[in-house]
Structure 1
Amino acid sequence: MDDETAEVPRPGDDDNYTAEELAAARADWSDFNLPRSTLSRNANPQPSPVPGRGFVPEADSSDLNDPSTLQTHADGAAATAPIPTPSFEEREWHRNIRDLEHRLLGAERSLTYREMALRMGVSTHAARKLWRALGFPNLDEDVKAFTEADAEALAQMVNLVRQGYLNQETAISLTRSVGQMTDRMVVWQIEALVEDKIANQELSDAEARSHVFETLPALIDPLHQLMGYAWRRQLSAALQRLTVRVESGLASLDRGREASGSEPSRDDAPLPLARAVGFADLVSYTSLSRQMNERTLAHMVQRFESKCAEIISIGGGRLVKTVGDEVLYNAETPEAGAEIALALSESIAADDVLPEARVSVVWGRVLSRMGDIYGPTVNLAARLTSLADPGTILVDSSTAEALEVSQDYLLVPQPPRLVRGFGEVAPSMLLRAGRGGIAIDNS
């Protein structure tokens, strides 16, 4: 191993790492899954000190008895496979990755789990729980995978517990919310940038991803600023829903039930929030997706999601989630839920790229947890969506009664249907009585 401390020729000679670069590469736990170049003729192969973490993947056990695949130390002990010498381009790529990572993390990875936990003032077990809640995998105890910034950020949640603002379970839940939302966000952003490069610069997928890496440094600060601003704005909007509009929503729920002369006897009565819950589901999505190539399918899904998100936002609702060919939203009044449902159905029907959609909306109580909504109201809306004919909107009887007080809607009774989990349900088709509604752009 003497040559690890010796000076290694720079690029242009044998394209080897210097001793410092080799040590940095081996210490970098994240590894880089790039194509490996062949060994330089003059390079002295070295064993990887930690199998699976250096530049060489772990040897296949089926090859361990083949002398041609192993090196031998002076004492006769078998060594791991040699370390190939990266090309000049690969070394530049590695350096750029490390520079970008340092900028994102703010410091070098210098702490183990135990060292991070000591700085947070908690047990290693507690530190692991918070790290996993952010959405990251467990790591070995001796791996220096964490920065001082990691310890400082996670310590914020620990301090909130110690100050009595949160209990441990809530702190974990809040941390998980940040991890899950930001994970989806960064994947979404990177794929959007890749798609932009493919569409506008006619690059292959691999080329586009390389170009995105080169573009990212200029985007980090603007996106970071936008994310912080959007979080504050969204929290402000949530506070309005929490304090100002809850009472009006419950009043609307009671109004709809009083119109029918019924008591609040539905299974959702104990749930805290009154909401209009709606689904929009693309017709024949599965069969269409089998006929499309990757680009065409991606274009259709993106168009569907962006169109639905815009309509729901303009209508004052909230896009709860998208699952492939389906969106789930909620709104604070039955009228808002109905307007969004009508706009979704009309806009999708007018779109030449998208197939028709089945839509439903149900007014009732829901439970909101982990960014999602639950309860019989959600289940009934999902069932009605599957019963709706393409291009139509179905509502249940309670929702129909709440909407009939308005002259803006027509409710056409449909034959009673047996619905799993609800027994016999008498749905109505929702139609618009006249002009108006949410202004939408079908371009």
Structure 2
Amino acid sequence: MPERRPSRDELAESILGEHQELSALDVASEAGVTVAQIRRLWRALGFPEVDNENAFTRGDVDAVLKIFSTVDSGTLDFDMAVAVTRALGQTMSKLADWEVAILVNRVEQLAAAEDGGSRMSNAHRMVEEVNPAFEELLIYAWRRHLSAAVSRMEALGANEEDLHTTHVSVGFADIVSFTALSNTLDDEGIGDLVEVFEARCHDVVSTAGGRVIKSIGDAILFVVPTAAAAIEIGEGIIRVIGRDPRMPDVRVGISSGSVVTRMGDVFGPPVNMAARLTAVARRNRIIVDAPTAELLPDIFITRRLPARPVRGFGIVEPLAVSRR
């Protein structure tokens, strides 16, 4: 007898662990809040508006009750709760896409094998086998990163009046001529290139004590406490990407100064300057601004480059960096 293929609804219910049997009005009624508040939280999670559809579960009611327990206790006001929900939604959306992209290759391998079954049935099986352990790892990783984030803020509090503002070195690394290069690759080749670039850069940044703030396909933005560590990261990225004959060349721009941290991102002149500097950097070279050069120890040599206009900053005199 041929294998019965689970439907998409069945796969969704397998992931959610329950039926989607409630409307927004049902959730609001059971949680004792307004439909407008439910819709605002739903949008903050990153989902489209639903009117009278039965798109919700008992788990959604429990989640709303947990959110409002922090509001009712006075720990957070509702706007803060929405902000936390938005941060959670953005993070989980990217994580879910990333997990599916990784697992889909395995699903296709299983489906292609002799008597391997359909892709939907294999996806259903992988969800049941992988998700329990992954959920535990998710909580573990969150606790680890929360601990690290609190430690960073505690260290910052000893030196800064505003805990949202800190002095760091910001690095921006991008692939040279990525658009032209991507036109020579098929979709799988582009995906593999970006994955290797991001993975190697992430390892280099983490090893040196920095943090990858975000990746934008052909570029990454990172922050690190010291200028010397930023140079070390730049050298590492050039070594594992630019010096690998199988990979394209890269450019690295580094700027130092005060940045504002919000929602896991950083903002301020050093962020913009680091991005602008990559446009004037030579292949497999590191370019820094004057504030960064002043913070470097004597083991580094800086060489002034010709002054040039930099969008948003006027005339800037960047510096190339090398070791003695």
TM-score by length of 2: 0.91
1:411 alignment counterpart: 302
Secondary structure of residue in 2 paired with 1:373? strand
Give the corresponding residue for 1:93. Answer: 6
Q: In structure 2, how many angstroms separate the alpha carbons of the residues matched to 1:381 and 1:420? A: 12
Q: Which residue of structure 1 lines up, in the alignment, with residue 289 of structure 2? A: 396
Q: Please, which of 99, 119, 127 is the counterpart of residue 30 of structure 2?
A: 119
Q: Which residue of 2 aligns with 1:144?
A: 54
1:214 and 2:107 correspond: no
CA displacement, residues 225-269 of structure 1 (integer Å, 9 cap, x when unaligned): 110000000000101111125546x6xxxxxxxxxxxxxxxxxx9
Alignment counterpart, residue 187 of structure 2, candidates 284, 294, 310: 294
- Identical pairs, percent: 35
Take 2:9 and 2:128, find their aligned partners in 1: how far apart are those partners? 12
2:89 maps to 1:179: yes
Matched-pair contact (CA < 8 Å) for 1:133–1:176: yes
Quote the RMSD (CA, aligned, Å). 2.5
Aligned equivalent of 2:205, options 277, 291, 312: 312
User: Which residue does 1:281 correspond to in 2?
Assistant: 174
Q: CA deviation at 1:207?
A: 6.6
Query: What is the match of residue 159 of structure 1?
Result: 69
Does the 8 Å contact 1:278/1:337 carry over to 2? yes
Alpha-carbon displacement from aligned partner over 1:147-196 (angstroms, at most 9, x marks no partner): 11101112222221221111222111110111111111111111112234
| Alignment match, 1:375 | 268
Q: Distance in 2 between matches of 1:348 and 1:246?
A: 36
Distance, in Å, in 2 between the alignment partners of 1:171 and 1:162 is 11
Q: Does residue 42 of structure 2 align to residue 131 of structure 1?
A: yes
Describe the superposition over 1:364-387 as per-residue Cα deviations: whole angstroms up to 9, x where unpaired. Answer: 111111221111111111111111
**C-alpha displacement of 1:288:** 0.9
- The structure with higher relative contact order (CA 8 Å, sep 6+) is 2
> TM-score by structure 1 length?
0.68
Is the contact between residue 271 and residue 365 of structure 1 (CA under 8 Å) also seen in structure 2? no
1:315-351 deviations in Å (ceiling 9; x for gaps): 1111111111010011112222221112112221222
Unaligned runs of 5+ in 2: none
Flag the structure with higher helix content.
2
Aligned to 1:37: none
Instruction: Look up the SS of the partner of 1:330 in the other structure.
Output: strand
Mark the CA change 1:414 to 1:337 in structure 2 (over 3 Å): closer, same or farther.
Answer: same
Structure 1: runs of 5+ lacking an equivalent: 1-11, 13-87, 251-268, 434-443
- 1:426 aligned onto 2:308: no
How much does 1:362 deviate?
A: 0.8
The AA in structure 2 aligned to 1:420 is R
Q: Is the 8 A contact 2:175 2:249 kept in 1?
A: yes
- Letter matched to residue 343 of structure 1: G
Q: CA deviation at 1:220?
A: 0.5
Query: Distance between the aligned counterparts of 2:164 and 2:71, measured in 1?
Result: 28
CA gap 1:207/1:432 in 2 versus in 1, 3 angstroms = farther
- Asked whether the equivalents of residues 5 and 118 of structure 2 are also in contact (C-alpha less than 8 Å), the reply is no
Distance 2:166 2:152 in 1: 10
**Residue 140 of structure 2 is aligned to residue 229 of structure 1:** yes
Contact 2:31 2:64 in 1 (8 A): yes
Aligned to 1:360: 253
Question: Secondary structure of the residue that 1:165 maps to in structure 2?
Answer: coil
Q: Is the 8 A contact 1:161 1:171 kept in 2?
A: yes
Partners of 1:190 and 1:212 within 8 A in 2? no
Q: Distance in 1 between matches of 2:21 and 2:120?
A: 29
Measure the CA separation in 2 of the matches of 1:188 and 1:137. Answer: 20
Q: Which letter does structure 2 place at the counterpart of 1:126?
A: Q
Match for residue 80 of structure 2 among 163, 167, 170: 170
Task: Note closer, same or farther for the CA distance 1:200–1:113 as it changes in structure 2 (3 Å cut).
Answer: closer
Query: 2-side partners of 1:227 and 1:275: how far apart?
Result: 28
Alignment partners' CA distance in 1, 2:186 and 2:259? 39
Counterpart amino acid of residue 355 in structure 1: P
Q: How does 1:341-360 map to 2 (within 5 A)?
A: 341-360=234-253
Q: 1:242 aligns with which of 153, 157, 175?
A: 153
Query: Which structure has the greater CA radius of gyration?
Result: 1
Decide whether the 8 Å contact of 1:194 with 1:209 is kept in 2: no
TM-superposed CA distance for 1:209, in Å, is: 6.7
Q: Residue 244 of structure 1: SS of its match in structure 2?
A: helix
**Amino acid of the structure 1 residue aligned with 2:246:** V
Could you say which residue in structure 1 is the equivalent of 2:105? 195
Residues 1:227 and 1:270: Cα distance change in structure 2 (over 3 Å): closer
Q: Which amino acid aligns with 1:422?
A: F
Q: Deviation of residue 197 (structure 1)?
A: 5.2
Would you say the 8 A contact 1:274–1:364 is kept in 2? yes
Output the CA distance in 2 between the equivalents of 1:220 and 1:366.
Answer: 37
